[in-house]
A and B are shown apart, each in its own frame.
Chain A
Amino acid sequence: MNDADVSKQIQQMVRFIRQEAEEKANEISVSAEEEFNIEKLQLVEAEKKKIRQEYEKKEKQVEIRKKIEYSMQLNASRIKVLQAQDDVVNAMKESASKDLLNVSHDHHVYKRLLKDLIVQSLVRLKEPGVLLRCCKEDLHLVESVLDSAKEEYASKVNVHPPEIIIDDVHLPPGPSHHHGFFHHHAEAHGPFCSGGVVIASRDGKIVFENTLDARLDVAFNKKLPEIRKWLFGQVAA
């Protein structure tokens, strides 16, 4: 070969080397772009999914919280209404309780009532001997009807007239403490003894409270469903 040929070949080889390098560089560049896009897409989609899940969860929590709050409001409202119902009904009982104090003012009527209450108590107890307690103020009236009450009971039930001892402890005018004699604890009756009697067997084991206050409690409880029905058109559970 002559110099020119050698030179030419060298040039060709140089160009070839260069071309190969550039082709390779191009391939690398193209694959770089592809990998870039794939990588970016994967990263973005993965994170987007996480974010969506995160916010779905947040939304659910907000929903739940709202439901709970509303439920609490609803309950509070219901309780408020129930409380008002209770207050209203108890106010009526209070009013009746106050009016009871006037019952004993008409002595004629009250005397009759006392007798009837004593007879009723005797019938309930069916004891030959009893202890009677009343208000201090009623002592005279009670004593005055005691005998006719005994007679009425005796003829009604066909027994001998019972022995009635009037206890020297009187029904208290204030909030009551019932000690040993009465084995069960009575509710505190109003600020005053409104009237009526308490009758017990001699050993104090059987007690029948026939005071006006106790009778009011009984009447009230018995009539409560009816009263509630009048008021709210539903029967109490």
Chain B
Amino acid sequence: MEANRGQNGIQQLLAAEQDAQHIVNAARNAKMARLKQAKQEAEKEIAEYRAQVEYEFKKKVAESSGYSGANVKRLETETDAKINHLKNEAARISHDVVQMLLKNVTTVRN
């Protein structure tokens, strides 16, 4: 009778140990799974951040290219104006310059 009861007791203890082992293992597995999640969630956050930064960047680029397009136009207009002014001035003095040159050529100082 006593031996039977003793056996039962030991079995209970063994079963308890087994359960304990299961519990701890489960926790360990859960930990590993959780750590893997760290990488996944990190990647998700990173992708969101990158998208945000990219959006800001594109916006900045679009703004500034509009600005420089206007600059180029302004430059072109200024240049054309300069050249026009030049041509007008030249027309104004051309005759006098030609006369001066001719006089220089046909006058001999001996």
The reply to whether B42 and A33 contact each other, CB–CB distance below 8 Å, is no
With both beta carbons as reference points, the residue of chain B lying nearest to A63 in the complex is identified as: B64
Interface 0/1 of A41-80, CB less than 8 Å to B: 0011001100110010011001000100110011001001
Bound: A67/B41 CA distance, A:
41
**Which of B26, B35, B39, B46 is most buried by chain A, counting CB atoms within 10 A of its CB?**
B46
What 17 additional pairs, Cβ within 8 angstroms, besides A47-B46, A81-B79, A230-B89?
A: A6-B5, A24-B24, A25-B23, A25-B27, A32-B30, A32-B35, A51-B49, A51-B50, A52-B53, A55-B57, A74-B75, A77-B78, A81-B86, A84-B83, A84-B87, A88-B86, A92-B97
- Contacting residue for B19 out of A18, A52, A66, A100, CB 8 A: A18
Residues of A within 8 A of B46 (CB): 43-44, 47-48, 51
With contacts A6-B9, A31-B31, A44-B46 taken as known, whether A100 is within 8 angstroms of B53 at the C-beta atoms is: no
With contacts A7-B9, A80-B83, A85-B86 taken as known, whether A40 is within 8 angstroms of B38 at the C-beta atoms is: yes
The reply to whether B100 and A223 contact each other, CB–CB distance below 8 Å, is yes
Interface residues of A in 1-26 (CB under 8 A from B): 3, 6-7, 10, 13-14, 17-18, 20-22, 24-26
Interface 0/1 of B93-105, CB less than 8 Å to A: 1100110111011
* Chain A residues touching B, majority SS: helix
Contacts from A to B (Cβ < 8 Å): 3, 6-7, 10, 13-14, 17-18, 20-22, 24-26, 28-29, 31-33, 35-37, 39-40, 43-44, 47-48, 51-52, 55, 58-59, 62, 66, 69-70, 73-74, 77, 80-81, 84-85, 88-89, 91-93, 95-96, 99-100, 103, 109, 113, 116-117, 119-120, 123, 152, 156, 212, 215-216, 219-220, 222-223, 227, 230-232
- Contacting residue for B71 out of A51, A70, A103, CB 8 A: A70
With both beta carbons as reference points, the residue of chain A lying nearest to B61 in the complex is identified as: A62
Bound: A40/B37 CA distance, A:
9
**Which of B19, B26, B105, B108 is most buried by chain A, counting CB atoms within 10 A of its CB?**
B105
Total A-B Cβ pairs within 8 A: 187
Residues of A within 8 A of B17 (CB): 17
Number of interface residues of B (CB under 8 A): 61
The reply to whether A216 and B101 contact each other, CB–CB distance below 8 Å, is yes
The reply to whether B38 and A43 contact each other, CB–CB distance below 8 Å, is yes
**Which of A40, A80, A103 is most buried by chain B, counting CB atoms within 10 A of its CB?**
A40
